[in-house]
Structure 1
Amino acid sequence: MSELKIPTYFDDEIEGARPKTRDREQIDARFKWNLNDIYPGWEAWQADMKEVRTHMDRFVELRGKLGEGPEQVLEAYQLQDTIGMMAYKLYRYPQLNFDLDQRDNEVQARLQEVQQLFAEYGSRSAWFTPELLTIAQETMEQWLESDEQLSPYRFPILEAYRAQEHVLDEGGERILALGSRFRSAPAEVYRALTTADVVFNTITLSDGEDVKVSYGEYSNLLHTRRDQEDRRKAFEAMYGIFEAKRNTFASLYNSLCQRDWAQAQSRNYSSTAEAALDDDNVPVSVLETLIETAREGSEPLRRYHRLRKEVLGLDEYHLYDGSIPLMESDEVYTYEGAKPTLIESVAPLGSRYQKLLGEALSGGWIDVYETEGKRSGAYSAGVYGVHPYMLLNYTDTLDDVFTLTHELGHTLHTVLSCEAQPFATSSYTIFVAEVASTTNEALLLDYLLKQTDDPRKRAFLLQQAISGIAGTFYSQALFADYELEAHRMVERGEPMTAERLDALYMEKMKAFYGDALTIDELYRVTWARIPHFFNSPYYVYQYATCYASSAKIVAGLLSEDEAERQATQARYLELLSSGGNDHPMTQLQKAGVDLSQADTVRAVTQRMDELVGMLEEELKRLS
Structure 2
Amino acid sequence: MAKPDTMNRDEIAEDYKWDFSQIYPNWEAWEADMAVLDGLIDDYAALQGTLASGPEALVRASELSDDIGRLQFKLYRYPQLQRDVDTRNTEISGRFQRVTALFAKLGTAASWFTPELLEVGYGTVGEWLNSEPKLAPYRFPIEEAFRQAEHTLDADGERLMSYSSQFSGTPRTIYQELSTSDIDFPEVELSTGEKVKLSYGGYSRTLNTARNQADRQAAFEGHYETYAANRNTYAAIYNASLQRDWFGAQARNYSSTLEAALDGNNVPVDVYKTLVETVRGGTEPLQRYVKIRAKMLGLDSYHLYDGSLPLLEDDRVYPYDDVKDTVLESVAPLGEAYQQKMAALLNNRRLDVYENEGKRSGAYSAGVYGVGPYMLMNYNDTMDAVFTFAHEMGHSMHTELAYETQPFATASYTIFVAEVASTTNERFLLELLLSRTEDPKERFLLLQQAIDDIVGTFYTQVMFADYEWQAHQKVEQGQPITPDSLSEIYMGLLEDYYGDAVAKDELYRYTWTRIPHFFNSPYYVYQYATCFASSAQVYKAMTTGTAEEKAAATERYLDLLRSGGNDHPMEQLRKAGVDLSDPATIQAVVDQMSDLVDRLEVEAERIQSSS
| Equivalent in the alignment of 1:201 | 186
Deviation, structure 1 residue 363: 3.7
What's the secondary structure of 1:134's corresponding residue?
helix
Alignment of 1:439 with 2:428, yes or no, is no
Give the Cα–Cα distance (whole angstroms) in 2 for the partners of residues 220 and 360 of structure 1.
Answer: 27
Amino acid at match of 2:162: A
2:201 alignment counterpart: 216
Quick check: 1:245 aligned with 2:230? yes
- Cα deviation per residue 1:82-119 (whole Å; 9 max; x = unaligned)? 00000000000010011111111100010000100110
- Per the TM alignment, residue 594 of structure 1 is displaced from its structure 2 partner at its CA by 0.1
Match of 1:430 in 2: 415
| Structure 2 residue aligned with 1:3 | none
User: Is the aligned partner of 1:59 residue 2:39?
Assistant: no
Where 2:523 maps in the other structure, the secondary structure is: coil
- After the TM superposition, which of the residue ranges 546-555 and 134-143 deviates more from structure 2? 134-143
What is the identity percentage for the equivalent residue pairs of Structure 1 and Structure 2? Answer: 55
CA root-mean-square deviation: 0.7
Shift of residue 381, structure 1, vs aligned partner: 0.3
CA drift at 1:69: 0.1
Q: Indicate yes or no: 2:26 matched with 1:22.
A: no
Q: What are the residue-to-residue correspondences of 1:108-187 with 2, within 5 Å? A: 108-187=93-172
Contact 1:588/1:594 (CA < 8 Å) preserved in 2? yes
Counterpart AA for 1:271 = S
8 Å contact from structure 2 (residues 421, 535) kept in 1: yes
Matched residue type, 2:580: L
1:553 equivalent in structure 2: 538
1:600 aligns with 2:598: no
Partner of 1:68: 53
State the distance in 1 between where 2:108 and 2:488 align.
40
**1:595 Cα deviation after fit:** 0.1
Alpha carbons 1:277, 1:284 under 8 Å: kept = yes
CA apart distance, 1:344: 1.0
> 2:98, 2:421 → 1: CA distance?
33
Cα distance in 2 for partners of 1:22, 1:554 equals 38
CA distance in 2, matches of 1:121, 1:563: 49
**Matching of residue 456 in structure 1 with residue 456 in structure 2:** no
Distance in 2 (CA, whole Å) between partners of 1:528 and 1:134 is: 44
From 476, 479, 502, the equivalent of 2:487 is 502
Deviation string, structure 1 residues 383-405 (Cα, Å, up to 9, x no partner): 00001100000100000000001
In 1, Cα distance between the equivalents of 2:503 and 2:548? 48
CA deviation vs aligned residue, 1:505-557 (integer Å, no higher than 9, x gap): 00011100011111211100001100000000000000000000000011112
Q: Aligned partners of 2:545 and 2:3: how far apart in 1?
A: 39
1:515 partner letter: D
1:326 maps to 2:311:
yes
Structure 1 residues 249-398: aligned runs within 5 Å: 249-398=234-383
Q: Is it true that 1:413 corresponds to 2:390 in the alignment? A: no
Whole-Å separation in 2 of the counterparts to 1:538 and 1:68: 40
8 Å contact from structure 1 (residues 370, 393) kept in 2:
yes
Amino acid paired to 2:253: N
Give CA-to-partner distance per residue, 1:355-400, whole Å, 9 cap, x none: 1111121141100000111111100000000011000001000000
Name the CA distance, whole Å, in 2 between partners of 1:435 and 1:457: 26
* 3-state secondary structure, aligned to 2:390: helix
1:567-578 aligned at under 5 Å gives the runs: 567-578=552-563
- Residue 29 (structure 2) pairs with residue 47 (structure 1): no
- Which runs of 5 or more structure 1 residues have no equivalent in the other structure? 1-15
Q: 1:557–1:565: 8 Å Cα contact kept in structure 2?
A: yes
Give 2:549's match in structure 1, choosing from 564, 570, 573.
Answer: 564
Residue 42 of structure 2 contacts residue 109 of structure 2 at CA under 8 Å; is this kept in 1? no
Q: Following the alignment from structure 1 to structure 2, what is the Cα–Cα distance between the partners of residues 462 and 314?
A: 21
Partner secondary structure for residue 7 of structure 2? coil
In structure 2, stretches of 5+ residues that fail to align are none
Name the SS for the 1:63 alignment partner.
Answer: coil
Partner Cα distance (1:406, 1:210) in 2: 30
Aligned to 2:507: 522
Provide the rounded CA distance (Å) in 2 between the counterparts of 1:195 and 1:54. 34
Structure 2 equivalent of residue 535 of structure 1: 520
What is the CA–CA distance in structure 2 between the aligned matches of 1:286 and 1:351, rounded to whole Å? 36
Counterpart amino acid of 1:66?
Answer: L
Aligned-partner SS, 2:120: coil
* SS of alignment partner, residue 381 of structure 1: strand
1:222-241 alignment to 2 at 5 Å? 222-241=207-226
Mapped to 2, the partners of 1:363 and 1:74 lie a distance apart of: 36
CA-to-aligned-CA distance 1:117-161 (integer Å, 9 cap, x gap): 110111122111100101120111110111001000000000000
Distance in 2 of aligned mates of 1:240 and 1:360: 40
8 Å contact from structure 1 (residues 32, 363) kept in 2: no
For residues 571 and 362 of structure 1, what CA distance do their matches in structure 2 show?
Answer: 28
Residue 453 of structure 1: how far off its partner (Å): 2.0
Distance (whole Å) between structure 1 residues aligned to residue 219 and residue 175 of structure 2:
22
CA contact (8 A) 1:31 1:363 kept: no
> In the TM superposition, what is the alpha-carbon distance from 1:288 to its structure 2 partner?
0.7
TM superposition shift of 1:560: 4.4
For the residues of structure 1 that align with 2:445 and 2:9, how far apart are their CA atoms? 34
Q: Equivalents in 2 of 1:278, 1:298: separation in Å?
A: 29
Q: State the shift of 1:180 in Å.
A: 0.4
Q: What code does the residue aligned with 2:555 have?
A: A
SS at match of 2:243: helix
Conservation of the 8 A alpha-carbon contact between 2:44 and 2:109: no
Identify the range of structure 1 (160-169 vs 55-64) with the bigger mean alpha-carbon deviation: 55-64
Helix, strand or coil at the partner of 1:382: strand
Moved more, 448-457 or 383-392: 448-457
How far apart, CA to CA, are the structure 2 residues paired with 1:560 and 1:306? Answer: 36
Q: What's the CA shift for 1:20?
A: 0.5
How far is the alpha carbon of 1:563 from its aligned partner? Answer: 1.4
Residue identity matched to 1:367 = D
Aligned equivalent of 2:453: 468
Measure the CA separation in 2 of the matches of 1:519 and 1:91.
Answer: 42
Instruction: Identify the match of residue 94 of structure 1 among 79, 95, 103.
Output: 79
Distance 1:56 1:534 in 2: 29
Task: Name the SS for the 1:211 alignment partner.
Answer: strand
Q: Helix, strand or coil: the match of 2:260?
A: helix
Check conservation: 2:3, 2:379, Cα contact below 8 A: yes
How far apart in 2 are the matches of 1:447 and 1:125? 49
Counterpart amino acid of residue 372 in structure 2 = H
- The letter for the 1-side match of 2:352 is D
In 1: Cα distance, 2:559 partner to 2:110 partner: 34
Is 2:66 the partner of 1:84?
no
CA drift at 1:559: 1.1
Preserved contact between residue 254 and residue 496 of structure 1 (Cα < 8 Å): yes
Q: Aligned-pair distance for 1:457?
A: 1.3
Instruction: Give the Cα separation in 1 of the matches to 2:260 and 2:292.
Output: 41
Give the secondary-structure state (helix, strand or coil) at the position aligned to 2:61. helix
- Paired with 2:187 and 2:56, the residues of 1 have a C-alpha distance of 64
Q: Measure how far apart 1:484 and its partner are.
A: 0.4
Tell me the amino acid that sits aligned with residue 398 of structure 1.
Answer: M
Give 1:451 shift: 1.3
Give the counterpart letter for 1:599 in structure 2: A
- Are the aligned partners of 2:153 and 2:252 in contact in 1 as well (CA < 8 Å)? yes
Q: Secondary structure at the match of 2:500?
A: coil
Deviations along 1:439-481, one digit per CA (max 9) or x if unpaired, are 0011111111111222111111000000000000000000000
Q: Distance in 2 between matches of 1:96 and 1:294?
A: 36
Amino acid at match of 1:573: L
1-structure distance, mates of 2:570, 2:499: 33
Letter in 2 for 1:600: T
The answer (yes or no) to whether the contact 2:372–2:403 under 8 Å persists in 1 is no
2:388 to 403, 406, 425: 403
